[in-house]
A = this chain, B = another copy of it.
Amino acid sequence: MKKQNRGIVLQPNEMPDKWYNIAADLGGKMLPPLHPGTLKPLDAVSMSALFPDALIAQEMSGERYIKIPDEVMDLYSMFRPSPLYRAVNLEKMLDTPAKIYYKYEGVSPSGSHKTNTAIPQAFYNKMEGVKKIATETGAGQWGSALSFACNHFGIDLQVFMVKVSFDQKPYRKMLMNLWNGKVEASPSMTTQAGRDILSRQPDSPGSLGIAISEAIEMAVSDPSTKYALGSVLNHVLLHQTIIGLEAEKQFAKTDDYPDIVIGCFGGGSNFAGISFPFVRHHLDGKKKTRFIAVEPSSCPKLTKGIFRYDFGDVAGMTPLLPMHTLGHDFIPPGIHAGGLRYHGAAPLVSTLVNEGIVEAQAYDQLVCFEAGLKFAQAEGILPAPETTHAIAAVIKEALIAKAEKTEKTILFNLSGHGYFDMYAYQQYFDNKLTNFIFDDAQLKNIDKQTFPIELAFQ
Q: Which residues of A contact B (CB under 8 A)?
A: 1, 3-12, 70-71, 74, 77-80, 85, 89, 107-111, 115, 148, 151-152, 170-171, 174-175, 177-179, 373, 376-377, 379-382, 417, 419-420, 422, 425-426, 429
Contacting residues, chain B, for A177 (C-beta < 8 A): 429
Q: How far, in angstroms, from A376 to B177 measured CA to CA in the complex? A: 12
Give the Cβ gap from A399 to chain B, nearest Cβ, in Å. Answer: 22
Give the Cβ gap from A140 to chain B, nearest Cβ, in Å. Answer: 12
Contacting residues, chain B, for A377 (C-beta < 8 A): 151, 178-179
> Could you say which of B70, B77, B151 contacts A6, with CB atoms under 8 Å apart?
B77
Assess the B85–A78 pair: CB atoms within 8 A.
yes
Contacting residues, chain B, for A74 (C-beta < 8 A): 1, 3-4, 6
Assess the B1–A174 pair: CB atoms within 8 A.
no
Q: How far, in angstroms, from A7 to B7 measured CA to CA in the complex? A: 16
Q: Known contacts being A1-B70, A71-B1, A429-B174, is A380 close to B148, with CB within 8 Å?
A: yes
Contacting residues, chain B, for A12 (C-beta < 8 A): 5-9
Assess the A78–B373 pair: CB atoms within 8 A.
no
> Could you say which of B4, B109, B379, B381 contacts A381, with CB atoms under 8 Å apart?
B109
Contacting residues, chain B, for A420 (C-beta < 8 A): 419, 422
Listed from nearest, the 6 A-B pairs whose CB atoms lie closest are: A109-B380, A419-B419, A171-B422, A6-B77, A1-B70, A7-B12
Assess the A422–B373 pair: CB atoms within 8 A.
no
Q: How far, in angstroms, from A5 to B78 measured CA to CA in the complex? A: 9
> Could you say which of B7, B70, B426 contacts A78, with CB atoms under 8 Å apart?
B7
Contacting residues, chain B, for A71 (C-beta < 8 A): 1
Contacting residues, chain B, for A111 (C-beta < 8 A): 419
Q: How far, in angstroms, from A78 to B378 measured CA to CA in the complex? A: 11
Contacting residues, chain B, for A380 (C-beta < 8 A): 78-79, 108-110, 115, 148
Give the Cβ gap from A13 to chain B, nearest Cβ, in Å. Answer: 10
Q: How far, in angstroms, from A85 to B74 measured CA to CA in the complex? A: 13
Give the Cβ gap from A378 to chain B, nearest Cβ, in Å. Answer: 9
Contacting residues, chain B, for A376 (C-beta < 8 A): 178
Contacting residues, chain B, for A77 (C-beta < 8 A): 4, 6-7
- A70: nearest residue on chain B (CB-CB)? B1
Contacting residues, chain B, for A70 (C-beta < 8 A): 1, 3
Give the Cβ gap from A196 to chain B, nearest Cβ, in Å. Answer: 33
- A253: nearest residue on chain B (CB-CB)? B11
> Could you say which of B6, B78, B115 contacts A379, with CB atoms under 8 Å apart?
B78
What are some 19 contacts across the A-B interface (CB < 8 A)?
A: A3-B70, A3-B74, A7-B77, A7-B79, A9-B9, A9-B10, A78-B380, A79-B380, A107-B107, A110-B380, A148-B380, A171-B419, A174-B422, A175-B382, A178-B373, A178-B377, A179-B377, A417-B419, A419-B420
Q: How far, in angstroms, from A324 to B154 measured CA to CA in the complex? A: 47
Give the Cβ gap from A417 to chain B, nearest Cβ, in Å. Answer: 8
- A425: nearest residue on chain B (CB-CB)? B174
Q: How far, in angstroms, from A330 to B78 measured CA to CA in the complex? A: 41
- A170: nearest residue on chain B (CB-CB)? B426
Give the Cβ gap from A113 to chain B, nearest Cβ, in Å. Answer: 14
Known: A8-B12, A78-B379, A107-B107. 13 other contacts (CB 8 A): A4-B77, A6-B12, A6-B78, A7-B12, A9-B10, A9-B12, A78-B89, A79-B380, A115-B380, A174-B425, A174-B426, A178-B376, A179-B377
Contacting residues, chain B, for A110 (C-beta < 8 A): 380
Contacting residues, chain B, for A379 (C-beta < 8 A): 78, 109
- A376: nearest residue on chain B (CB-CB)? B178
- A381: nearest residue on chain B (CB-CB)? B109
Contacting residues, chain B, for A10 (C-beta < 8 A): 9
Q: How far, in angstroms, from A177 to B428 measured CA to CA in the complex? A: 13
Q: How far, in angstroms, from A345 to B297 measured CA to CA in the complex? A: 54
Give the Cβ gap from A35 to chain B, nearest Cβ, in Å. Answer: 38
Contacting residues, chain B, for A11 (C-beta < 8 A): 9, 11
Give the Cβ gap from A239 to chain B, nearest Cβ, in Å. Answer: 17
Q: How far, in angstroms, from A18 to B111 measured CA to CA in the complex? A: 32
Contacting residues, chain B, for A79 (C-beta < 8 A): 7, 380
Contacting residues, chain B, for A170 (C-beta < 8 A): 422, 426
Contacting residues, chain B, for A422 (C-beta < 8 A): 170-171, 174, 420
